[in-house]
Amino acid sequence: MSEPEELQQPDIHTTAGKLADLQRRIEEATHAGSARAVEKQHAKGKLTARERIELLLDEASFVELDEFARHRSTNFGLDQNRPYGDGVVTGYGTVDGRPVAVFSQDFTVFGGALGEVYGQKIVKVMDFALKTGCPVIGINDSGGARIQEGVASLGAYGEIFRRNTHASGVIPQISLVVGPCAGGAVYSPAITDFTVMVDQTSHMFITGPDVIKTVTGEDVGFEELGGARTHNATSGVAHHMAGDEKDAIEYVKQLLSYLPSNNLSEAPVFAEEADLEITDEDRELDGIVPDSANQPYDMHAVIEHILDDAEFFETQPLYAPNIVTGFGRVEGHPVGIVANQPMQFAGCLDITASEKAARFVRTCDAFNVPVITFVDVPGFLPGVDQEHEGIIRRGAKLIYAYAEATVPLITIITRKAFGGAYDVMGSKHLGADLNLAWPTAQIAVMGAQGAVNILHRRTIAEAEANGEDLEAVRARLIQEYEDALLNPYVAAERGYVDAVIMPSDTRCHVVRGLRQLRTKRESLPPKKHGNIPL
């Protein structure tokens, strides 16, 4: 009696049989995870590794690599289960017609646990991306190291970290965390340029809740410890919190549109010559800064007035909200935006804001994206905690980032620019190419209240001793200080500001400035590498 048709093996001694055998193996590799595992994945609201790639890449553009790779381990019965692909799908394709490389961890195979061959596949596709100069996107959904393979798994992680480091600043690296990412696995996304997580689905931590409970006695859940909201709002590890996986993938596709394929190329341009006539919309900026220096306004409104179609693609909106970072376009050319946000802590710089902005400026500089900086900063946030946690060293990172940047740098001071924070926020002294100020700008060592207390301590004491009206005396001294120093013109006299402009003229100045700076060439002193105060 003949075998049922589905159990019959093709005759691999014939050409037709060999072709049929290949098709069988492809089918097996495509469905490496069991139907039950796929069902459980979908029940959690998660997509499979291949479904994610299908959503990310242009239709029919994916070319798989190492489809038939399998682990070689014989420990703990692993030799009885050797699925094709070994738990990760790797290859290349296109996003909006632009080449990218991708790896997607498959939680339906060994829980996505990383072994030796699995790691080799990721390393291989990363090397391929480096050689061809295309972005690499890692889709992370893994339980961690494959314990059965022992130190080979740890070695594979190390090889991946080294590739992440070598690729840093050469090709864009984007991490999608769409499930667990624990232990040593977290360091690969940490090195990459951007990390996107999914609310209530993604988790990243070095040690999980159970280990923490055992070692320290702390009782903490997955979400509080390493959920998407934690890493977007508290730790700063992630750059975007998506509502679901489709939202996360769309964010990555949009992000890629602002970045070049590599450090030797330019980002995609949708050229559209700007109309330099002042519009009613431009004139809205003339009234955006309140009369009172203590009254806030939303810097997003300023940013959107400058960008094409008022489209601003923000990064890390939940982290350090006192500084705003993100991408936009001017005349179709991508630009990076850094801006103090008066709505949060009056726009003060603190540790988290300094590091957030420094990281973003360095990313833009690495990938040839001009940086536009909007300044309204009363200084660094005072406090014992800030000092003890290293605001001096960590704030210096932002100085370093601006000073080493060679991309076009345009800075607009809208209101306050006090003390060291003035220097730090893309000042002329750090190498900015064009520094503009609005008439509302106040560029000085400090604000009027603090300055009067120091400069006129004796005058105030004498007035008090003589029984004079202290409030009237202070008001007069403050007015004198404001008239003399709290303006943009002292800085303009010294060339620290290239022009004092009407707010409504800002878009035109930015457009003209960027046109001129497209041919900017600047070289820094040769060195092995700098020693940024990490």
Query: Strand 371-377 to strand 409-418: parallel, antiparallel, or no bridges (unpaired)?
Result: parallel
Among the listed residues 228, 366, 421, 437, the single catalytic one is 421
Residue 163 DSSP class: H
Q: How many CB atoms lie within 10 A of CB 174?
A: 23
Residue 183 annotated among the catalytic residues of the structure: yes
* Measured CA distances, 354 to 87, 176, 192, 337, 380 (Å): 39, 25, 19, 14, 9
Residues 6 or more apart from 179 whose CB is under 8 A from it? Answer: 46, 105, 107, 112, 140, 141, 142, 201, 202, 203
Rounded CA separation 167/95 (Å): 20
CA distance 83 to 85: 6
Say if residues 341 and 319 touch (Cβ distance below 8 Å).
no
Distance separating alpha carbons of residues 189 and 142, to the nearest angstrom: 13
Which entry of 112, 183, 336, 426 is annotated as an active-site residue? 183
What is residue 204's three-state secondary structure? strand
Which entry of 150, 419, 420, 431 is annotated as an active-site residue?
420
Which residue has tokens 């049922």? 4
Residue 158 annotated among the catalytic residues of the structure: no
266 φ/ψ sector (left φ>0, alpha ψ -120 to 50, else beta): beta
d(CA 3, CA 9): 9
* Kind plus residue range of the DSSP H or E element containing 219: none
Contacts of 116 (CB under 8 A, 6+ apart): 71, 72, 73, 149, 152, 153, 155, 156
Is position 179 annotated as part of the catalytic site? no
Virtual torsion, Cα 132, 138, 139, 144, nearest 10 deg: 140
Task: Please say if 113 is a catalytic residue.
Answer: no
Enter the tokens of residue 211.
Answer: 């280990």
Separation CA 213–CA 225 (nearest Å): 12
Strand residues in 389-452 grouped as ranges (E): 409-418, 434-437, 442-444
Please name which of 436, 477, 475, 437 lies closest in space to residue 455, comparing C-alpha atoms: 477
- Are 379 and 344 contacting, i.e. CB atoms less than 8 angstroms apart? no
Q: Tell me, rounded to whole angstroms, the distance of Cα 374 from its chain centroid.
A: 18
Catalytic residue among 184, 236, 419, 450: 184
Residue burial 323-345, b: 16+ Cβ < 10 Å; e: rest: bbbbbbbbbebbbbbbbbbbebb
Identify the sign of the CA torsion 308, 313, 315, 317.
positive
Residues annotated as catalytic are 183-184, 420-421
